[in-house]
Amino acid sequence: MFSRLFSRSPRRRIVIVLGMHNSGTSLLARAIALMGVELGRHVLTRESFEQAPRYDYWEHARITEIQDKLLQLLDRYWNQDRADHPIPEAAWQQPEVLALKRELTEIVQAELAEAPGLWGFKDPRTVRLMPLWHDIAQTLRLDPMYLISLRAPATVATSFASKGQVPYELAERLWTRHYFEALQYSRGAARLVTDYDAWFTDWERQYERLADFLGLTEPEKRATARAQVARTIDPGLKQHAAAPDAPLRPITRDLQALLLRMAEGSDDPAAEAALLARRQELTSVSL
């Protein structure tokens, strides 16, 4: 049973970073941490692994562990044939899923009790588990703010297929499913789309948009964080590039175009609704 603190208090804001694997979510998580968002004490950095990756992940270790279990339980783990398939409504009521959902709820409750300011987390797995997170937000009276990190689908699919040893076609479908559901489940909430590539061409504008979104208004703190974020942008991490003729499905191209407009500050609710109505195209496997 949850404490009365959470059942009677006003809604509390949290930040949730969404995006496909290899889409710049780590850069975005590091940036918001430097801007004052608490990510918790147990985040995954290079030192967390026996074979260190090229960059720090900035993921909450326990949340990531549980969400890995959930995706495996739901038969939607990233290297499974059904990884990009929709998750049936009934699946969320499985006893094993409900038990892991309770664990996540307890983690968030404990993190919020320790974090005096704005708390958040990043994990690419979260996108596929958004119905579960909506329930957690309701239980703990949370007001999620969504940050969506966008990167070109052909580039991400090429990179993910190489690293994960999965077919390019599956990686492309995963990209589309992730961003379709990121839009679908964040509608009506505070959200900001950021373009990963733009951090390397116009990082100042990316920083200012992000600072405004997070409500970082105090001039001294904003200037300090700005300098710190600038030092974290490493062009050497942009290693993968897609072939010029890398195939994309129409739904993927249109979704990318819509997200790019949103990343430039041009929301289009009508275009978003029209694209979300094309749900049936997500199951297409022809490129």
Start-to-end C-alpha separation, the chain: 49
Residue 30 domain boundaries: 11-283
Residue 6 lies in a domain: no
pLDDT at residue 169, as a whole number: 95
CA dist 200 → 56, 76, 86, 231 (Å): 18, 33, 34, 12
Centroid of chain to Cα 130: 10
Q: Which amino acid is at 240?
A: H
Whether residue 29 contacts residue 234, with contact meaning beta carbons closer than 8 Å, is answered with: no
Can you give the pLDDT at residue 2? 43
pLDDT score of 9:
64
The rounded Cα 265 to chain-centroid distance in angstroms is 19
- Residue 271: inside a domain: yes
Q: What is the pLDDT of residues 123-154, one digit of tens each?
A: 999 999 999 999 999 999 999 999 999 999 99
CA–CA separation, 204 vs 185, rounded Å?
A: 29
Indicate whether 107 belongs to any domain.
yes
Res 41: pLDDT = 79
Q: Where are the alpha helices (H) located in 14-121, listed in sequence order?
A: 25-34, 61-73, 95-114
Residue 5 lies in a domain: no
**pLDDT given at position 4:** 46
- Opening angle at CA 172, ends 169 and 174, nearest 5: 110
Compute the chain's Rg from CA coordinates. 18
Given the structure tokens 């899923």, which residue do they identify?
97
Residue type, 96: E
Give the residue ranges of the chain where pLDDT is below 50. Answer: 1-7
Distance CA 85, CA 96 (A): 20
For residue 2, being part of any structural domain is answered with no
Question: What percent helix, strand, coil does the chain show, rounded to 5?
Answer: 55, 10, 30
Task: For the beta carbon of residue 76, count every other beta carbon within 10 angstroms.
Answer: 21
Which residue's entry shows tokens 């699919």?
157
> What totals of helices (H) and strands (E) does the chain contain, helices first?
11, 6
Let me know if residue 1 belongs to a domain.
Answer: no
| Model pLDDT, residue 43 | 83
Question: Does 114 map to a domain?
Answer: yes
Strands of the sheet with 12-18, listed across from one edge: 119-122, 12-18, 142-150, 190-195
Q: Does residue 216 fall inside a structural domain? A: yes
Quote the pLDDT of residue 58: 86
Q: What is the dihedral of CA 233, 19, 116, 220, to 10 degrees?
A: 30
CATH number of the structural domain spanning residue 171: 3.40.50.300
Domain count, the chain: 1
